[in-house]
Amino acid sequence: MPRNRSILLLSAGHACVDVYQGAVASLVPFFVAERAYTYAAVSGIVLAASLLSSVAQPVFGALTDRRAMPWLLPMSTIAAGLGIALSGMSGSYALTLACVAVSGIGVAAYHPESARVARLAGKGSHSAMGWFSLGGNIGFALAPLMVTAVIATGGLRLSPLLMVPALAGSVLCLPVLRALEKATRTGAGSAAPTGTDDKVSFVKLSLAVVCRSITFVGLSTFLSFYARERTEGGTAAATAALFILYAGGGVGTIVGSRLANRWDRVAIVRVAYLTTVAAVAGVVFVPGPAIYVFVALTSIGLYVPFSLQVTLAQDYLPSRVGTASGITLGLTVSVGGLAGPLIGSLADATSLQKALMPLIVMPALSWLLCRGMPEPAVPARLAARPVADEESEHGPGAGVTREESAKAGP
């Protein structure tokens, strides 16, 4: 557990925002049950949350590269929660789409600036970014439990209660923003861009994360239905499958940040994607309760690279950290929702199993894209900084300089 208070608060705030990304997929079975939506219709809801987020994410990233906007953290958290809270209040499909779209914009506004702040608070540490990313994993994992506890009790009319995490998250980030403002006044929070951009590697990495996103969002949207179908279970089987998918991400994130202390991030990412191919195949083809084992393995495999991809993107694009963060944390994560309607339409026309089969190929494409990527150099402004305090907060290696760490591997 890190002793950096700002990273802890940012991680908790990240959980409060990403609970709303997970809430969209968690609400899908209830939309089907109460409103008789088809697979294609509910995948359109996921698309609404993803589409505006996908478009807005790089815009917010570019804006934060030009000017710091720390006030976006509490404001975007409220927007993310408000959209989900209102989504159950009207039976209108158009209004439901509009509400989840507002939530998607809130999520889009949050990630680039929060990743920039986390990079400053963690002094560029892979472990610090891992803890920050872990908060998002926890939020995803809690989403099905929260949504089921609230909506299964009184139906979609109780959706305003889902606003509570947003209110908590908006308060949690305030001490971090005050500390950042104080550090900026004293010059300790300076983050002038340094280093040379490797745009080719950044594009390859972004495409790899897009493929990852299609797998993850596709499973998030339809896993609850598929788990019930394969296990012949009810709502509990669906909720358990989503919880495992999201909770396994926390394990994968921690494992990934630990491995990055010993080996190159690119090598770790490649191995993770290659092993995920077999895990996704298990989810699609293995019947019965064993599906939960493969859901867990899939989740870990997809999340081992997660925080590493953020720091890789920031190091590939050191002059535009906000843009890099926005694309890897947001755009390429949410863009997977664009494939949702295709999967839903194929499921309506054939079967859910056949519709999920293409997801097996996506991690293989990610692996291929990562094969030619180099391990980026540590930016100069981080390489020269002693990390004794940072490592005492985030992991082993106290007293090692960034230059020595770079020589030994990330």
* Domain ranges within the chain, ordered by starting residue: 5-408
Q: What is the pLDDT of residue 388?
A: 35
Rounded to an integer, the average pLDDT of 216-220 is: 86
Would you call 126 helix, strand, or coil by DSSP? helix
* 390 pLDDT above the threshold of 50: no
Q: What is the pLDDT of residue 122?
A: 75
Which of 16, 18, 48, 51 shows the shortest CA–CA distance to 31? 48
CATH dotted code for 5-408 = 1.20.1250.20
Query: Quick count: other Cβ atoms within 10 Å of Cβ 254?
Result: 20
Query: Quick count: other Cβ atoms within 10 Å of Cβ 162?
Result: 27
Per-residue confidence band for 24, with pLDDT thresholds at 50, 70 and 90: confident
Would you call 101 helix, strand, or coil by DSSP? helix
Strand partners of residue 401: 386
- Name every residue whose Cβ is closer than 8 Å to that of residue 39 and which is 6 or more positions away in sequence: 222, 225, 344, 345, 347, 348, 352
Cβ(172)–Cβ(16) below 8 Å: yes
- Burial track 330-361 (b if 16+ CB lie within 10 A, e otherwise): bbbbbbbbbbbbbbbebbeeeebeebbebbbe
- 62 vs 27: which has the higher pLDDT: 27
Read off the DSSP letter of residue 384: T
Give me 66's structure tokens: 């030009």
Strand partners of residue 386: 401
Give me 157's structure tokens: 């009319």
Q: What is the pLDDT of residue 387?
A: 36
* 157 pLDDT above the threshold of 60: yes
Rounded to an integer, the average pLDDT of 106-130 is: 79
* 356 pLDDT above the threshold of 50: yes
Read off the DSSP letter of residue 156: G
Angle between helices 93-121 and 174-186 (to 10 degrees): 40
Rounded to an integer, the average pLDDT of 76-80 is: 93
Rounded to an integer, the average pLDDT of 172-198 is: 71
* 197 pLDDT above the threshold of 80: yes
Query: pTM for the complete prediction?
Result: 0.69
- Name every residue whose Cβ is closer than 8 Å to that of residue 187 and which is 6 or more positions away in sequence: none
